[in-house]
C-alpha cells in the first residue's frame, strides 16, 4: 500500500516539473527587468516568484526521486537528470536568499546565469527520459527510420549454420522489444539486450523458463489477445508475426541457449518451415498499380479541366502524387481533341483506361507516345494489329488489356520487347488455340490470360435436394 | 373589415407561421449571441487534444457534386469492391473448415468445457456434437480444403484467400450484420460502401456509386441500415436495385409522360430547391438536387446496365442465371456488369443460410445444400469472368456471413430438432477474399480440432474492414468523419490490416 502511494505521488513528477521551469524563468526575467529604473518595482515580484520557483523545484525533486526508484529508466540518464535537478533546486534557493538579503561576496548575475543553464539542461535530460534521447533531433534526421519495424530482419543465408540466439532470436527482440526493454528504457525493470539481464527478468520475476516455453512469462504475454492489458508488445506497437512467436517458443523450449547453432537444437516438424523461411528475403511484392518512384512535376490543370469537361475522369493516382490516371468511362466516342490533350499530360499519365470507346488504329500512334503508362486498357475497342505496332514504345507497361479486340497473335508478337509487361488479357480476340503456346513462349515473364473459361453445368447444379425425415 | 382584408391577414399569418416552423433549433442557436459564444467555446474545446488535421485523411465534400471521383491517400490496388454477404451465416464446418476430429465426436454429448460460461442464441442444456455433414478434399495447388458442397468453387481454390479464423462478438443476425458492415452492432453508423463512396466517389456519374442487390426472398435481418449512410451525407447510402422488372423502383416515367416533360419537371424542382438552398444553406439540399439529376440520367443508364439479356448465351450458362427471375446468380452477373461500368461498391445479400435445422429449408443437409448449389456456380463464374476481363486485379471480392455455426447440433429449447442444424457461433468462422492485391491460393488462420475456437490468425470484422480500406488506398485509422464533436471512423478504435494476406 505504501509503495503504491509513493508511486502515485511520484507520478505527479511529469506535471509538477513544469511549474519550477515557469516560475524560475519568470523570476529571472523579472529580476533582469528590475535592473532598469523604470521597472524597479518588479524587484519585489521577482522575490515572490523565485520563492514559488524554489518551492516547486523542491517538490519536483522529491517526486522525481520517488519516480526514479519506482520506475525503470536508463540509470545513467536518470542520474544526471537527478543531480542537475537537485542543483537547480539548491541554486534557486540561493538566488532567492540573495534576493531577500543581497550579499557582497557573490554576484547575483552569476547565480542567475548558472540557474538558467541548469534549468535548460535538466529540462532537456527530463525530456530525453520520457520521449527518448533522439526525440529532439528526430525531425531533422531522414524520415525513413519508421520502417525499422520490419526491415531490420535480414534473411539468414544458411539457417542450420546460424546461431539460434544471435541470428534468429536477437533480431526479433531488436525490432520488437528493445525500444522499451533495451539500453534506453527498462520498463518493468526488464532489460533484454543484455543476456544476463534478460535471463534475470523484470520486476515480476523471470520472463524465460529455459526448456519450458509454455511456462515462460514472455510467451504468455505474446500469446495474450492484443487488447489484453498484459499483452506484449503493447497494442499500438508493431507486433511480431506468428512465425516469430513460434521461433521464440522453439528457442526457449530448447533451453534458451545463447551460443548453440540451429543444427544443434531439436527441430520439431512445425518449426522446420518457419526456420526455412528465414533463408528467403521477404518476397518482393508484385505491384500492379505501380507508381514510378521518381517524382514528377504537377500537370497543367487547364488541360485536366478540359478533359474533365468532356466527362473523362482524370485524377492523380493518390493524394500527394502528381502522376495521373485517366478513365473514359462515360465518354465513349473519341473526337479530335482528346488524344492531343492526353499527350500534353504524357509525363504524368501512368494509368489509361479507354475501354468500350470507339478508339481505332488512328489513335494508336498518340497512345504509343504516352511512354510512362504502366496500365493500359484498350478492351472492347476497334484497335487492330496495325495499331498495336505503335504500342511497342510503351516500355514501362505492366498491364495491358486487349479483351474483345481484333488483335491476332501476329499483332501481339510485335510487343515482345516490352520487358516490364506482367499481365496481358486477350479474351475474345481472334488468337487461335494453337497459337497460345507460341505466345506464352514469346512472353516468358508475362501472364497471358486467354480467358474463355467455362463453368460446366453439373447435374447437381439444377437439382434441389429433398428432405429426409429423421 | 372586408373579406379581402381578412384573407390578406390570414395569408400573412400563415406566412409568418411557415417561417417560424422553419426556425429550427439550429437557427435558434445560430442567431443567439450566447449560442455563438458557446459554439466558439465548443469548437475551442473540441480542438483540444485532437490529433492535428494533417495526420487525418483529407476528404473534401462537395455537396453539389458529392459523387465525383476523389483520390485515395495512397495508390490503391482495388478500384471496386464486390461484397457477397451470405445472410444468415453459412456453416464453415460444411464448406471450408474441415474437422475430421469432430466426426469422431458425432452424436456424443458436448463436453462441459465448451459450454461453461458461454451463451448461445438457441442451444440450451447439453447439446450433441454434430460431425461434418459434407465430404472434403484438398483443392488446387494450394491444397485448400473445400467440401463437395461447392464443386465449382473447388476448381478455383488457387484464386482465393481464406480467412479461417474470423470471430465476432455478436450472436444475433441483425447486430452481427451491422457489425460486419458498419463496424458497430447498433444502428446509426455508416456502412462500408458508404464510407468507400464518401472517400472515393465513383467513376461513372450516370450510375450510383454504391449499389445493393438482394436475393433469397428477404432483405437482411438488420434491414436497410446495413447499407445506410449513418451520419455521412445521405447521398452515400446504398441504392437498392432489382434484378427483375424496373431496376430501381419509381424511376421509370409514368405512362404518358415524355422524357422532355420529365426533364422540365426536374428542372423546376431543382430550381425550387436551389432557392431553398440560398435561404437555408443546408448542403443536403444540394445533394438532393444532384440526386434528381442522377435519377434523370439513370433512367437511361440503369436499365441499360441492369439488362442482363444482352449478355451472350455462354455467359448466362457460365453463371447459371435465370433471366426474368429474381435470383442470386442474376445479381452476381449484374455485379460484374456494374463494376465494369465503373460502379465503386456492389453489395450483394443472399438470404437463407441460417441452417438451424428448424425446418427443411434451414437444414444443414437439405436447404443449406440447395443454397450452396444456387451460389457455387455463379460465384465461380464471377471470379473467372472478372479474371478474363482483366478486372480481378482491381476488383476486391469478399465472401462471408455475419458469424459461423456451432460444432454442436442445435437443440432449441433443449429439444431435438426435426432436421440437422447448427446454432449461431461467434468464435470461429471462415470468410474469403479474392483479387485486388490479395494473396492467391492462401489460407490464413486456423481453428482447433473441432472448429470451436481459433488457434492462430484470429481476425475480427474490424480487421477485415481495415484490410478492405487498405486495398482501396486508405489508412483506416486516418479515414475519419467529424460528427458530434469528434472524428468517427469505420473501425472505431480497433482494426488491423491483415498484412499476411496481402500479395
Q: Is B135 helix (H, G, I), strand (E, B) or coil?
A: coil
Query: Is A293 an 8 Å CB contact of chain B?
Result: no
Determine the average pLDDT of the residues in B439-451. 91
Cα B346 to Cα B328: distance, rounded to the nearest angstrom: 13
Q: How far is CA B107 from CA A113, B130, B474, in A?
A: 86, 6, 48
**pLDDT confidence tier of residue B388, bands split at 50, 70 and 90:** very high
- Band of residue A417 on the pLDDT scale cut at 50, 70, 90: confident
Burial of A193 (0-12, 13-18, 19+ CB in 10 A): middle
Average pLDDT over residues A209-236: 87
pLDDT of residue B47 exceeding 90, the answer is: no
Confidence class of residue B55 from pLDDT cuts 50, 70 and 90?
low
Looking at every residue in chain A, the average pLDDT score rounds to: 85
Nearest chain A residue to B500, by CA: A241
Instruction: State which residue of chain B sits closest to A405, comparing Cα positions.
Output: B389
Residue B248's pLDDT is 77
Q: What is the pLDDT of residue B1?
A: 64
Establish whether the linkage from the previous residue to A417 is cis, with ω within 30° of 0: no
Confidence of residue B44 (pLDDT cuts 50, 70, 90): low
- Distance (Å, whole) CA B294 – CA B308: 22
Taking an 8 Å cut-off on Cβ atoms, the answer to whether A288 and B437 are in contact is: yes
Q: Is the dihedral of CA B248, B249, B250, B252 positive or negative?
A: positive
Q: With bands split at pLDDT 50, 70 and 90, how would you rate the model's confidence at A411?
A: confident
State the sign of the Cα–Cα–Cα–Cα dihedral A174, A175, A176, A180.
positive
pLDDT, position A141: 59
B136: its cell numbers: 472434403
Give tens-digit pLDDT for A282-340: 554 445 457 787 788 888 888 888 888 888 889 888 887 888 899 988 888 888 888 88
A419-428 average pLDDT score: 89
Helix A75-100 to helix A108-131 angle, to the nearest 10 degrees?
Answer: 150
The mean pLDDT of chain B is 86
pLDDT at B51 over 50: no
Q: What confidence tier does B39 reach under pLDDT thresholds 50, 70, 90?
A: low
Topology of the domain covering A301-449: 3.80.10
Helix orientation angle between A18-33 and A75-100, rounded to the nearest 10 degrees = 40
| A451 contacts on B by Cβ (under 8 Å) | 387-389
Predicted complex ipTM:
0.81
Q: What pLDDT was estimated at residue A146?
A: 40
The counts of H helices and E strands in chain A are 20, 7
Put simply, the chain A residues between 313 and 332 with a CB less than 8 A from any chain B CB are: 313, 315-321, 327, 329-330
Hey, what's the cell of B170? 455478436
A64/A86 Cα distance (integer angstroms)? 10
What confidence tier does A150 reach under pLDDT thresholds 50, 70, 90? very low
Residue B31's pLDDT is 64
Biggest alpha carbon–alpha carbon distance for chain A = 110
A interface mutation test: which of B55, B76, B389, B475 has the most A CBs within 10 A? B389
User: What mean pLDDT comes out for the span A63-80?
Assistant: 80
Q: Residue A91's CB: how many other CB atoms inside 10 A?
A: 21
Q: Is B381–A289 a contact, with Cβ atoms under 8 angstroms apart? A: no
Contacts of B356 by beta carbon, 8 Å cutoff, 6+ apart = B122, B362, B410, B412, B417, B421, B422, B423
Which residue blocks in A40-140 are alpha helix, DSSP H?
42-70, 75-100, 108-131
Please name the member of A227, A241, A313 whose beta carbon is closest to the beta carbon of B203.
Answer: A313
- Please give the Cα distance from B200 to B80 (Å, whole number): 10
Containing H/E element for A404?
none
List A residues 432-461 in contact with B (Cβ-Cβ < 8 A).
449-455, 457-458, 460-461
Residue A142 pLDDT exceeds 60: no
The share of chain B scoring above pLDDT 70, in percent, equals 93
Q: From CA B427, how far away is CA B169, in angstroms rounded?
A: 8
Whole-number percent of chain A with pLDDT over 90: 20
CA-CA-CA-CA dihedral for B95, B96, B99, B100, to nearest 10 = 70
C-beta of residue B371 within 8 angstroms of C-beta of residue B112: no
The pLDDT tens digits of the residues spanning B318-375 come to 999 888 778 899 999 999 999 999 999 999 999 999 999 888 889 998 999 999 999 9
Q: pLDDT, tens digit, for every residue of B109-139? A: 989 888 888 888 888 888 989 999 999 999 8
Contact residues for A125 (Cβ-Cβ < 8 A; gap 6+)? A77, A80, A81, A84
Residue A221 has pLDDT above 60, yes or no: yes
Compute the average pLDDT of residues A76-94: 90
Q: Which of residues 226-265 of A touch B (CB under 8 A)?
A: 226-227, 239, 241-242
For residues B81 and B398, is the Cβ–Cβ distance under 8 A? Answer: yes
Q: Distances in Å between the alpha carbon of A77 and those of A74, A182, A370, A448, B315?
A: 5, 13, 59, 62, 72
What is the pTM assigned to this prediction? Answer: 0.72
Chain A residues in contact with B446 by the CB 8 A cut-off are none
pLDDT tens for B148-205 read: 999 999 999 999 999 999 999 999 999 999 999 999 999 999 999 999 999 999 888 8
Separation of alpha carbons B230 and B48, rounded Å: 26
CB distance B240 to B194 below 8 Å: no
Residue A192 has what DSSP assignment? -
CA distances from A336 to A115, A340, A349, A351, B461 (A): 77, 8, 19, 21, 50
pLDDT of B236 over the 50 cut:
yes
Q: How many angstroms separate the CA of residue A200 from the nearest CA in chain B?
A: 30
Amino acid at each position: 500500500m505504501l509503495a503504491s502511494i509513493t508511486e502515485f505521488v511520484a507520478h505527479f513528477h511529469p506535471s509538477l516539473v513544469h511549474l519550477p521551469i515557469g516560475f524560475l524563468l519568470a523570476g529571472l526575467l523579472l529580476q533582469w527587468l528590475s535592473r532598469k529604473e523604470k521597472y524597479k518595482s518588479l524587484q519585489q515580484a521577482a522575490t515572490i516568484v523565485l520563492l514559488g520557483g524554489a518551492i516547486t523545484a523542491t517538490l519536483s525533486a522529491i517526486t522525481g526521486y520517488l519516480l526514479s526508484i519506482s520506475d525503470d529508466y536508463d540509470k545513467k540518464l536518470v542520474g544526471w537528470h537527478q543531480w542537475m535537478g537537485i542543483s537547480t533546486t539548491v541554486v534557486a534557493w540561493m538566488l532567492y536568499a540573495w534576493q531577500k538579503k543581497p550579499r557582497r561576496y557573490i554576484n547575483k548575475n552569476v547565480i542567475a546565469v548558472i540557474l538558467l543553464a541548469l534549468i535548460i539542461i535538466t529540462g532537456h535530460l527530463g525530456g530525453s527520459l520520457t520521449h527518448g534521447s533522439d526525440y529532439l533531433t528526430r525531425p531533422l534526421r531522414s524520415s525513413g527510420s519508421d520502417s525499422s519495424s520490419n526491415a531490420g530482419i535480414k534473411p539468414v543465408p544458411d539457417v542450420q549454420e546460424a546461431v539460434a540466439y544471435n541470428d534468429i532470436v536477437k533480431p526479433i527482440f531488436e525490432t520488437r522489444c528493445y525500444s522499451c526493454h533495451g539500453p534506453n528504457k527498462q520498463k518493468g525493470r526488464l532489460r533484454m539486450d543484455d543476456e544476463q539481464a534478460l535471463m534475470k527478468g523484470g520486476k515480476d520475476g523471470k520472463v524465460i523458463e529455459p526448456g519450458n516455453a509454455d511456462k515462460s512469462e514472455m510467451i504468455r504475454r505474446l500469446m495474450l489477445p492484443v487488447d489484453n492489458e498484459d499483452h506484449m508488445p503493447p497494442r499500438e506497437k508493431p507486433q511480431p508475426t506468428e512465425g516469430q512467436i513460434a521461433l521464440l517458443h522453439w528457442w526457449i523450449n530448447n533451453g534458451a541457449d545463447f551460443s548453440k547453432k540451429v543444427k544443434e537444437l531439436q527441430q520439431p516438424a512445425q518449426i522446420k518451415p518457419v526456420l526455412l523461411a528465414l533463408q528467403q528475403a521477404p518476397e518482393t511484392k508484385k505491384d500492379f498499380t505501380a507508381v514510378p518512384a521518381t517524382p514528377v512535376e504537377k500537370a497543367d490543370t487547364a488541360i485536366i479541366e478540359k478533359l474533365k469537361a468532356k466527362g473523362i475522369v482524370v485524377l492523380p493516382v493518390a493524394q500527394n502524387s502528381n502522376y495521373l490516371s485517366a478513365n473514359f468511362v462515360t465518354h465513349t466516342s473519341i473526337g479530335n481533341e482528346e488524344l492531343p490533350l492526353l499527350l500534353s499530360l504524357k509525363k504524368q499519365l501512368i494509368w489509361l483506361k479507354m475501354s468500350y470507346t470507339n478508339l481505332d488504329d488512328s489513335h494508336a500512334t498518340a497512345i504509343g507516345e504516352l511512354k510512362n503508362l504502366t496500365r493500359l486498357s484498350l478492351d472492347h475497342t476497334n484497335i487492330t494489329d496495325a495499331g498495336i505496332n505503335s504500342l511497342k514504345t510503351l516500355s514501362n507497361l505492366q498491364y495491358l488489356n486487349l479483351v474483345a479486340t481484333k488483335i491476332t497473335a501476329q499483332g501481339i508478337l510485335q510487343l515482345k520487347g516490352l520487358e516490364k509487361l506482367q499481365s496481358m488479357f486477350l479474351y475474345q480476340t481472334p488468337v487461335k488455340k494453337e497459337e497460345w503456346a507460341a505466345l506464352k513462349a514469346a512472353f516468358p515473364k508475362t501472364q497471358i490470360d486467354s480467358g474463355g473459361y467455362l463453368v460446366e453445368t453439373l447435374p447437381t447444379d439444377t437439382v434441389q435436394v429433398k428432405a429426409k425425415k429423421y | 373589415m372586408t373579406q379581402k382584408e381578412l384573407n390578406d391577414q390570414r395569408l400573412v399569418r400563415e406566412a409568418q407561421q411557415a417561417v417560424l416552423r422553419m426556425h429550427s433549433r439550429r437557427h435558434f442557436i445560430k442567431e443567439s449571441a450566447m449560442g455563438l459564444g458557446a459554439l466558439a467555446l465548443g469548437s475551442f474545446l473540441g480542438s483540444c487534444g485532437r490529433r492535428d488535421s494533417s495526420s487525418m485523411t483529407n476528404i473534401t465534400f462537395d455537396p453539389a457534386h458529392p459523387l465525383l471521383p476523389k483520390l485515395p491517400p495512397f495508390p490503391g490496388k482495388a478500384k471496386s469492391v464486390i461484397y457477397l454477404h451470405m445472410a444468415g451465416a453459412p456453416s464453415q464446418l460444411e464448406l471450408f473448415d474441415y474437422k475430421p476430429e469432430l466426426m469422431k465426436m458425432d452424436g456424443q454429448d458436448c463436453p462441459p468445457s465448451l459450454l461453461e460460461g458461454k451463451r448461445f442464441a438457441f442451444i440450451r442444456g447439453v447439446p450433441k456434437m454434430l460431425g461434418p455433414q459434407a465430404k472434403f478434399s484438398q483443392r488446387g495447388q494450394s491444397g485448400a480444403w473445400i467440401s463437395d458442397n461447392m464443386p465449382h468453387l473447388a476448381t478455383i481454390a488457387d484464386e482465393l484467400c481464406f480467412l479461417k479464423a474470423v470471430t465476432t462478438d455478436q450472436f444475433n443476425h441483425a447486430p452481427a450484420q451491422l457489425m460486419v458492415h458498419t463496424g458497430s452492432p447498433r444502428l446509426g453508423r455508416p456502412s462500408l460502401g458508404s464510407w468507400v463512396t464518401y472517400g472515393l466517389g465513383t467513376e461513372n456519374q450516370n450510375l450510383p456509386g454504391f449499389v445493393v442487390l438482394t436475393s433469397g426472398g428477404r432483405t437482411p435481418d438488420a434491414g436497410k441500415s446495413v447499407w445506410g449512410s449513418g451520419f455521412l451525407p445521405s447521398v452515400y447510402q446504398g441504392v437498392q436495385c432489382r434484378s427483375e422488372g424496373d431496376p430501381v423502383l419509381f424511376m421509370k416515367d409514368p405512362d404518358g409522360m415524355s422524357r422532355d416533360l420529365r426533364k422540365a419537371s426536374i428542372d423546376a424542382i431543382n430550381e425550387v430547391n436551389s432557392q431553398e438552398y440560398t435561404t437555408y444553406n443546408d448542403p443536403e439540399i444540394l445533394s438532393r438536387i444532384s440526386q434528381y439529376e442522377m435519377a434523370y440520367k439513370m433512367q437511361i443508364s440503369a436499365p441499360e446496365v441492369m439488362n442482363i439479356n444482352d449478355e451472350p448465351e455462354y455467359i448466362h450458362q457460365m453463371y447459371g442465371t435465370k433471366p426474368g427471375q429474381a435470383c442470386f446468380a442474376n445479381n452476381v452477373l449484374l455485379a460484374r456488369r456494374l463494376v465494369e461500368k465503373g460502379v465503386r461498391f456492389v453489395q450483394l445479400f443472399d438470404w437463407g443460410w441460417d441452417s438451424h435445422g428448424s425446418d427443411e429449408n434451414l437444414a444443414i443437409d437439405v436447404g443449406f445444400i440447395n443454397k450452396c448449389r444456387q451460389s457455387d456456380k455463379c460465384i465461380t463464374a464471377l471470379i473467372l469472368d472478372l479474371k478474363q476481363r482483366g478486372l480481378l486485379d482491381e476488383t476486391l471480392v469478399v465472401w462471408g456471413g455475419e458469424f459461423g455455426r456451432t460444432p454442436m447440433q442445435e437443440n432449441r429449447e433443449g429439444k431435438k430438432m426435426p432436421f440437422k442444424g447448427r446454432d449461431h457461433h461467434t468464435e470461429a468462422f471462415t470468410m474469403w477474399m479474392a483479387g485486388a492485391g490479395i494473396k492467391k491460393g492462401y489460407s490464413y488462420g486456423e481453428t482447433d480440432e473441432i472448429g470451436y475456437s481459433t488457434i492462430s490468425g484470429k481476425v475480427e470484422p474490424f480487421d477485415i474492414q481495415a484490410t478492405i480500406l487498405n486495398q482501396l488506398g486508405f489508412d483506416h485509422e486516418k479515414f475519419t468523419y467529424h460528427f458530434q464533436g469528434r472524428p468517427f471512423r469505420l473501425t472505431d478504435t480497433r482494426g488491423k490490416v491483415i498484412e499476411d494476406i496481402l500479395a
